[in-house]
Amino acid sequence: DVKVTQSSRYLVKRTGEKVFLECVQDMDHENMFWYRQDPGLGLRLIYFSYDVKMKEKGDIPEGYSVSREKKERFSLILESASTNQTSMYLCASSHGAGTQYFGPGTRLLVL
């Protein structure tokens, strides 16, 4: 079974802090994704990566950056957290144009 793990289930940070969210997948998938999920807005793509050191902006990249130094690991960085970044963050991975497999999510609260 594909396993996608995220570093934290719940996170509380203060405004202005730098926040790192990590995602690891164990199926050698080349594609990895970061989404945020908010009530009424559904899943919105922040960034995705189709190879090591490659990244592409999704629909809402502002305020976020990503890093993919190894194939299995994809990090989402909030350079200076703001209250409007309070959300559920979901990581996913896929092989080719196949289905995406999601991690359990990180609930981030920015105070």
* Neighbour-count burial for 47-62, b at 16+ CB within 10 Å, e otherwise: bbbeeeeebeebeeee
Stretch that binds other proteins, among 14-22, 66-74, 77-85, 92-100 (CB under 8 A): 92-100
The residues pairing with 53 across neighbouring beta strands, listed in sequence order, are none
Among 101, 108, 109, 110, binds other proteins (CB under 8 A): 101
Site for other proteins in 28-47 (CB under 8 A): 31, 33, 40-43, 45
CB of 36 to other proteins, least distance (A): 12
Q: Give the integer Cα–Cα distance in Å for 92 and 109.
A: 21
CB of 107 to other proteins, least distance (A): 7
CB of 39 to other proteins, least distance (A): 9
